[in-house]
Amino acid sequence: MTPANASLKSDVSSSPDWEKIRADFPILQLHIDGKPLAYLDNAASSQMPQQVIDRLVRYQTTQHANINRAVHYLSEVATLEYHNARCKLQQFINAREDREVIFTSGTTDSINLVMHGYGRKFIKAGDEIILTTLEHHSNIVPWQMLANEKGATICVVPVNDKGELEVDEYEKLFNERTKFVGLIHVSNALGTINPIKGMIDFAHRHGVPVLIDGAQAAPHITIDVQALDCDFYTFSAHKLCGPTGIGILYGKAALLEAMQPFKGGGDMITSVTFEKTIYNTIPHKFEAGTPPIAAAIGFGAAVDYLTAIGIEQIAAYELGLLKYATACLNDIPGVRIIGTAAEKTAVISFAIDGIHPHDIGTILNQDGVAVRTGHHCAQPVMQRFNVPATSRASFAFYNKKTEVDALVAGIKTVQKIFL
Amino acid sequence: MHTNSLYQEVILDHNRKPRNYGKLDHASHHATGHNPLCGDRLDITLQLEDDQINNIAFQGESCAICKASASMMTAAVKGKSRANAETLIHEFRELATGKLDTNQPHHLGRLTVFSGIRDLPTRVKCAILPWHTLHAALNSLDSASTEADDSAPTMPDHS
């Protein structure tokens, strides 16, 4: 824990000072069209606290050099800090070894890495890949590309009317052709928390590896990859108060070692001749070229920051916001919440009868309320619930009830204008 | 900009009561427009005779801006020649992307009510989709996409 974060968790048993924590985020002081910003688009990207911004500034002003190459002071410092960031991520997800953490450009890049590195080597014609209706496009499209290339088949787990996976149907999909499972931990469109532990165990009983897309889970749920026993786990820094352009892929060391490299280039080799290249060991085998060093160090600072508050404290606070917002929206006639799973993170996708989400988003923006409107890169979910798009309010630990009130007032303005 | 200057009564009225809504049974031309960013779809059918648009209709799922734009577009081009319609398509795209000098002569008339859209870059494609689709229909292209639009939107000023 850095000194800057020490005040956040002086006493684990007491509730954090949420007002003080909110003050760490300079962007939340903005006004939009003269109205205070209510930033409720955290599922798309969360904001960055001053502590992370300061860490990036410190790196750029006093520590920057390329890594793993030179013997001079700055290169040694940058290399060490980059390595420290990897270790922080290892601890954050409780991986066995730091070499099981690969820095990527984000969740999408990680899934593509697994598709190319594992899928193209081990999945063959006639094989089946199980995905779910809740997947983000980033955990659909790469597997479709692979299936088209190899002649494999995608099988899809359905969801019930609450937006919960039908686990019985998942289990029925398994047969001797099943070779891979891709599973979203938390639905970005609905907030549903999926029962991944049991689903991973079931897949393993059939000898099938499982990739978990944790982009929406890592900011809200304590991730323990050893307890989950998942084969791959991935998420992005920018949804955890860190920079864009960086994320991780966790993979079991034995699997990563068996995989082929995804991208070729510098630093992912031990020797190159025009006749032959010998690849580096993991994690370097999968980190070709100069990585986003500053972003990785910022990512480390972000998980320091979140860890200092406590993911469980964050989850409890956000659950309070979710309950309050759900009750408020349920009280507005004509508003329908899509995704009512028993286990949810603080995401509310909603539709207003007779009003298109884009018009809702534009009017809410006028009141300073930032929500996402659209299909959330999850078109199969939209098709399942027979809507072209939804409006989505997604909360973070720095949000407060008055911002929910601003959302409610904005929705009433929308209805007044259009109905 | 203030959003109310975009959602003016004339736009809200066309959203509530869209003109020329539906599908022509014996269309000579048709096209489907698609905005992949939001999933909106729009079908346009029209009857072109001697290079004149004798009738036109639209239907589909879309936001108020798109629906009002489509409604006012059909009213504006009905009875017009293909060349006049293409002129309107060009001028409307210029208007929506902030490139049209409305102080200079133009043919848009009440369609200038959409001028405020230029300050909402994320909504420009909503307004332009029907016009893309009309252009596709007139040129016997089956489909149009807002992603074919190469106009660079301007940033809103929230200072």
Burial per residue of A382-393, b for 16 or more beta-carbon CB atoms within 10 angstroms, e otherwise: bebbebbbbbbb
- pLDDT confidence bin for B149, thresholds 50/70/90: low
pLDDT digits 0-9 by tens, A88-129: 999 999 999 999 999 999 999 999 999 999 999 999 999 999
Question: In whole angstroms, what is the distance from residue A365 CA to residue B53 CA?
Answer: 39
Among B39, B63, B158, the residue with its CB nearest the CB of A32 is: B158
The count of other CB atoms within 10 Å of the CB of residue A275 is: 5
pLDDT of residue A131: 98
Which residues of A does the annotation mark as catalytic?
A: 377
Question: In whole angstroms, what is the distance from residue A213 CA to residue A136 CA?
Answer: 9
Distance from CA of B147 to the nearest CA of A (A): 16
pLDDT of residue B120: 87
Q: Do A33 and B158 touch (CB under 8 A)?
A: yes
Q: What percent of chain A has pLDDT over 70?
A: 97
Q: What percent of chain A has pLDDT over 90?
A: 92
In the block, residue with structure tokens 């070692």: A257
Residues of B in contact with A371 (CB under 8 A): none
What is the value of ipTM here, to two decimals? 0.83
Contact A249, A110 (CB under 8 A): yes
pLDDT digits 0-9 by tens, A164-218: 999 999 999 999 999 999 999 999 999 999 999 999 999 999 999 999 999 999 9
Distance from CA of A30 to the nearest CA of B (A): 10
pLDDT of residue A116: 98
CA dihedral B22, B39, A374, A129 (to 10 degrees): 140
Strands (E), chain B: 29-35, 40-49, 52-59, 143-145
Q: Is B39 on the interface with A (CB under 8 A)?
A: yes
pLDDT over threshold 70, residue B13: yes
pLDDT digits 0-9 by tens, B35-61: 887 778 899 999 999 999 999 999 998
Q: Do B7 and A375 touch (CB under 8 A)?
A: no
